[in-house]
Amino acid sequence: MISAGLLRSKAVRLVASNAQDSLGLRTDAFTPGAFFYCDVRNPSAQEASYADGVAVRRQFQLRARWTAVENSGLTEVDRVRVEGRDLKVQSIINLDNADRVAVIECEEVA
C-alpha cells in the first residue's frame, strides 16, 4: 500500500520518438505525455567515467499507484520528468504483484 500523503511530486512521462535517423537508430527526441503523482527517493549517487570525463550518476526510486503508471503508458523506453530532472527509466516493478504500488527505478546522469 502507498499513502496518498507521500504522493507529492508530479511526474510527467516523456514519450520516446518512433522516428529513425539515417542509420536506422531511434532519435533522441522526447515529447511530454501523461502525468502521475509519485513519491521521490534518492538512494544513491556515484561518480563514473562518462564520455570524455567524469559524471555523477544519481539513482532515484519513484513510488506511485500502479493504476496511475499503467494508465500513463510508461515503459522502460521512456523518460520521466520529476522535480525539474529528466530521469532515464531503468525498470518498472509491480510491488508484490498486487497491482497497487509501482516502483520505478531511474537514473540521472549529470
Listed residue (3, 1, 11, 5) closest to 104, CA to CA: 11
- What is this structure's pTM? 0.85
Average pLDDT over the chain, rounded to whole? 89
- Residue 1's pLDDT is 66
pLDDT band at 39 (very low <50, low <70, confident <90, very high): very high
CATH code for the domain in which residue 69 is found = 2.40.10.270
Domain span including residue 94: 4-109
What is the mean pLDDT of the segment spanning 70-92? 95
Give the residue-averaged pLDDT of 3-13: 89
